[in-house]
Amino acid sequence: MASIWSEYLPGVNVKAEVTGGSVTNVIQVARKESDLGIAMADVVTSAYAGQGRFPDALPLRVLFTAYPNIVHILTLEGSGIASVSDFRGKRVSLGAAGSGTAVAAENVLTSLGVELTEVSPVYLSFAETTSALKDGTIDAGFVVGGLGLAAVRELSVTRDLRLVSLSKEERSQVHENYPSYTGYEIPSHTYKGVEEGVGALGIWSAVVVHKDMPDSLAYQLTCTIYANIEELLKVSPVAAAMILSNIRQLTVPLHDGTEQYLRDPSLKCTDGLR
């Protein structure tokens, strides 16, 4: 996206930066330390409402939704873990500190009756989580991202991966507590050795901006991405989810510039500003 914006928008230069994750991203956007940020829906919703980790409501707007993140709950065959309830007394990676993965892990565990005090939590990145599983220094871990994550694929090739499946009742329970989460099934054979579909959860991610971003800029940013969506598809298949009918997946308001774009997406990006 940064490359598309920098190439097609005169006078705009966007640089992609690595951060700690969703929580960090929404805070940086709210402080105007970043102009745009990608964050998971549950984090964006809490930040906008001033709930959970956010004592004050943050001045955010959604530019557009991006792709669904899938909650992968990882363990290895022989760990004795068949369900989330088996996590009690286990060493569990909840994701990197400040990441959307860590928020999702805590939400899933507590929704299903497992308190953080009942596990031995560690906060590791995707790569650190899979490495720790290989080394036996953790028993299970959460990884949240698009389907077919490289870190999970690599783990499935080198170890006997087991994805912990959530029942329909468990998925409904999490959704009841956190409506941003929806039921999802990881298809069989997505990862080596996983022969059956796995009950999981999906969480939309969104590109967020400060509410004070000029309407004209927000309009151009949104329009330029959708006008060049084929270029994104060449980079990642998750961009297939970026269709206009999915743009309102969050309860957080869209930026007025995006609303302007949606009134007539057929216009050229420059024409729509007239």
> How many whole angstroms separate alpha carbon 225 and alpha carbon 4?
7
C-alpha distances (whole Å) from 102 to each of 42, 89, 185 are 11, 18, 21
Q: Are 37 and 25 in contact (CB under 8 A)?
A: yes
Domain limits, the chain? 18-67+207-273, 69-203
Locus of tokens 């022989």:
78
Instruction: Look at residue 272 in the predicted model and tell me its pLDDT.
Output: 54
DSSP 254: B
- From the list 221, 202, 215, 180, the residue with the least C-alpha distance to 49 is 180
What backbone torsions phi and psi does residue 191 show, to the nearest 5 degrees? -125, 145
Amino acid identity of residue 22, one-letter, is S
Instruction: Look at residue 50 in the predicted model and tell me its pLDDT.
Output: 97
Q: Which two tokens stand for residue 47?
A: 């930040």
How large is the C-alpha radius of gyration of the chain?
19
In 49-105, at which residue ranges do the beta strands (DSSP E only) sit? Answer: 60-76, 91-93
> How many whole angstroms separate alpha carbon 131 and alpha carbon 5?
35
Tens place of pLDDT per residue across the chain (274 aa) = 999 999 999 989 999 998 888 999 999 999 999 999 999 999 999 999 999 889 999 999 999 999 889 999 999 999 999 999 999 999 999 999 888 899 999 999 999 999 999 999 999 999 999 999 999 999 999 999 888 889 999 999 999 999 999 999 999 999 999 888 989 999 999 999 999 999 999 999 999 999 999 999 999 999 999 999 999 999 888 888 899 989 988 889 999 999 999 999 988 887 655 4
> How many whole angstroms separate alpha carbon 13 and alpha carbon 159?
42
DSSP 253: P
Q: How many CB atoms lie within 10 A of CB 234?
A: 8
- From the list 109, 35, 122, 42, the residue with the least C-alpha distance to 73 is 109
* Predicted TM-score (pTM) of this structure: 0.81
69-203: which CATH architecture? 3-Layer(aba) Sandwich (3.40)
Superfamily of domain 18-67+207-273: Periplasmic binding protein-like II (3.40.190.10)
